[in-house]
Amino acid sequence: MEVFVEDENYFGVDLGNTSIRLVELKQIHDKPTLVTYGDIELPNGLMASDAPVDQQKVAMVLKKLVDDARVSTKNVVAGLPGSKVFASIVKMPQMTEQEIAHSIQYQADKYIPMPLDQVKLDFTKITQDKDAAEIDVLLVATPTVVANKYLNIFQLAGLELMALDVNAIAQARAMVPDGDIDVLLIDFSSLTTDIAIVARGVTGLIRSVNVGVRSLVHVTAQNLGLDEAQADQFVRKFGLTQTKLEGQVYRAMKPLLDNIVDEAKKSIEFFYQVNPGRKIEKVVITGGPAAIPEMPVYLANSIGLAIEVGNPWQKISYAAEFNDRLAGMALGYSTVVGLALRNMV
């Protein structure tokens, strides 16, 4: 299963823990243009299950979404969250793609914490300067059982899985502007939060923290004596505003959010150690919890960098009548838009 496969006719699919999203784009007048999009809910725990019967259920939900959205191809690019991949930037002597492919097999065990016969490996050459004595190569691996699970789900849905991309790489493709800038990317999901450094357009350092919207809601429910549904409403309404409810929701969530902040700071510190003189210019945040009241302010004060709420539609052309609708869905569509953008930007 190649992570960086080339194919010009496909649509993006984001298999999340609580929903499935898809986006199909088409290049029109040198501009990625929206063809169709859609999302559908998944029962809790279904995507996390490895049982064949549950994979069949996921496939049936996916097939319904694809039929309803009327996509024009069976070819799919899907994304993997940071918790399902190992990604490292490997320094190597200047060599060709074929030489890298041969050499990487002997070096991968230094970077992949699993037996190599249990993972799917791929790489992409980052350094394009042919005169450079040393090059950077992005090495990506995912457990074979994970790759096979995704392949099976798409086959059961009657689709052709062309490639497995990495969510953070897809998000950067959609939301981080081109150019020589360094950005920290934070993606909040239902179960985890992924943190990645996008260095001059290349996503290399990816961390995953076991804190997501579910854990934020759960800790709020515990601390305030609420059921999960009430706690979810409190988190969305009051968030990190310290003047509402005497700051009880803020105090309940802060210890978990501090774990995310600590990991973000570790990523920044490591980046500065290996790239002296460089500077992270801003933090781009996405995912549902990015909309929690006062979240951008809390992160800006805690991390010490400017916060930007990501907009995955910024590189996409679409009819003006969709402005409000797409803007309201932006935080949940950052991965799938980036998947659909492969080879277009």
Domains along the sequence of the chain with CATH:
11-222+238-340 (3.30.420.40)
Q: What is the pLDDT of residues 283-324, one digit of tens each?
A: 999 999 999 999 999 999 999 999 999 999 999 999 999 999
pLDDT classification of 4: cutoffs 50, 70, 90 = very low
With 90 as the cut, is the pLDDT of residue 205 above it?
no
With 70 as the cut, is the pLDDT of residue 210 above it?
yes
pLDDT, the chain, mean = 91
Lowest mean pLDDT among 27-41, 124-138, 265-279: 124-138
Q: Annotate 214-265 with DSSP letters as a single string.
A: HHHHHHHHHHHT--HHHHHHHHHHHTT-TTSGGGHHHHHHHHHHHHHHHHHH
Strand partners, 75: 160
Angle, alpha carbons 345-6-88 (nearest 5°): 80
Residue 105 has what pLDDT? 83
Structure tokens at 109: 């065990």
pLDDT classification of 8: cutoffs 50, 70, 90 = low
With 50 as the cut, is the pLDDT of residue 7 above it?
no
With 70 as the cut, is the pLDDT of residue 1 above it?
no
In the DSSP assignment, the letter for residue 109 is G
Give me the torsion for CA of 280, 80, 49, 21, rounded to 10°. 100
Structure tokens at 93: 């002597």
Query: CB–CB of 334/171 below 8 Å?
Result: yes
Percent of the chain at pLDDT > 70 equals 97
In the DSSP assignment, the letter for residue 192 is -
Q: How far, in Å, CA of 290 to CA of 169, rounded?
A: 19
Structure tokens at 137: 């190569």
Q: What is the pLDDT of residues 44-93, one digit of tens each?
A: 889 999 999 999 999 999 999 999 999 999 999 999 998 898 888 888 89
How close are the terminal C-alpha atoms of the chain, in Å?
22
Is the pLDDT higher at 252 or at 115? 252
Q: How far, in Å, CA of 24 to CA of 34, rounded?
A: 6
Burial of 63 (0-12, 13-18, 19+ CB in 10 A): middle
Residue 159 has what pLDDT? 97
Residue 45 has what pLDDT? 85
Positive or negative torsion for Cα 63, 69, 72, 78: negative
Q: What is the mean pLDDT of residues 222-251?
A: 95
Residue 102 has what pLDDT? 86
Q: What is the pLDDT of residues 152-197, one digit of tens each?
A: 999 999 999 999 999 999 999 999 987 789 999 999 999 999 999 9
